[in-house]
Amino acid sequence: MKIEKVEAIRTDRYCYARVTTDTGLTGIGESGSFGALEASAAQIENFGTFLVGKDPLDIEHLWQAMFRGMFFRGAAVMGAISAIDVALWDIAGKFYGVPIYKLLGGKCRDKVRVYSHVFAKTDEELVKNCHLRRDQGYNAVGHLSPFLDEPMTMPYEKTHVKNMEESIKRVHLMREAVGDDIDLCIELHRRSLPGEAVVLINEIEDVHPLFVEDPIPPGNNEAMAYVTAKSRIPIATGERLHTIYEFQDLLDKKATDYVRVSLTTVGGITGARKIAALAETKMCPIIPHNPLSPVCTAAEMQFCMSIDNLLICEYPDPDGSLMGDRTHKKSDLVTDYFKAENGYVKVPDVPGLGIDLVEDVEKKFPPVPFPVWYRLNGDGSIRDQ
């Protein structure tokens, strides 16, 4: 069996790789290169010039060739490697007639615990959407922003004291809304500096969140280590990192309690498993990051089934709207999807990834350019959001 064709597929605000073999077996995978999907798609096709004629079952060898054969990496390249890697695992599962996790050592669990997103622009909407996820059976909810999901067009003009008091009260409102049978996954979304992050985190410890995610902007592990050391709530971060070496530095500096792995930007299932093994040596649980489509979700479920040090997995609602086309659902992109029931996903016992893209998906849902988003402070300077 040989690789015959590698295609990049752009649809809505998503980017996929489809790998086709000379036997007719195909595999799909997703790139998580936000804001650089055009570049990632071009790199998928560039890798295709190397992959055609190769054995798709030589996954580790091909991964090493793509990872080490580039002079530069970054999000676009790692997203391309990720999409192709998952597509190769999809082919391998279909070739052997088993789910991907069976090829990764078998299952470590019977089902995967997940948390669903809660978005809100007002306190009332926050309570309403927390109740909705509770009523849907989730035992954990995430993307819970103490700062709310304010529009990028709104200049930020709050005093420190008002920001802190409103945010602290809002986290307590979340706990009141769901009670003690649901875990809260607090998302600061890189919107705080180290000092104010520590103030906020330690003022909400009485509601016992499962973790606080991305308290400060990425890129400085010493600053993240400061926040982690001062926090009395577990810190989760890592979703913007790309290589095992970056994660090793994060762990060596004790800059996180839980590792956030973006399977679609760390080299796919192959790269994510390397990072999970590294984290396991530090007794550090994994919380896979996933803001993408059901293709990413399917890959993450296979990964989650196969690792022991999983804490919980992020699960975007497949019935939620597309990112660029709000009139259609994410599930419209695929032939099937992994449905959460009572806060867990049971991975079906079908070969490969378990789902596929619908026919002519790129024609039904044309690519939508990813905008350059930013928010301003009241003085006109850029604010992280």
pLDDT per residue of the chain (385 residues) written in tens, 0 to 9: 999 999 999 999 999 999 999 999 999 999 998 879 999 999 999 999 999 999 999 999 999 999 999 888 889 999 999 999 999 999 999 999 999 999 999 999 999 999 999 999 999 999 999 999 999 999 999 999 999 998 999 999 999 999 999 999 999 999 999 999 999 999 999 999 999 999 999 999 999 999 999 999 988 999 999 999 999 999 999 999 999 999 999 999 999 999 999 999 999 999 999 999 999 999 999 999 999 999 999 999 999 999 999 999 999 999 999 988 889 999 999 999 999 999 999 999 999 999 999 999 999 999 998 888 899 999 999 998 8
C-beta separation of 63 from 273 below 8 A: no
Q: What's the CA gap between 46 and 111, in Å, rounded?
A: 37
pLDDT of residue 373: 85
Greatest C-alpha distance within the chain:
64
C-beta separation of 314 from 290 below 8 A: yes
Q: What's the CA gap between 90 and 354, in Å, rounded?
A: 8
What is the DSSP pairing of strand 258-259 with strand 235-237? Answer: parallel
Q: Give, as one character, the DSSP assignment of residue 335.
A: S
Set out the domains of the chain in order of their start, with CATH numbers: 3-98 (3.30.390.10), 102-351 (3.20.20.120)
Q: What's the CA gap between 210 and 236, in Å, rounded?
A: 10
Non-local CB neighbours of 136 within 8 Å, separated by 6+ positions: 116, 340
**Two tokens at 195?**
């000092």
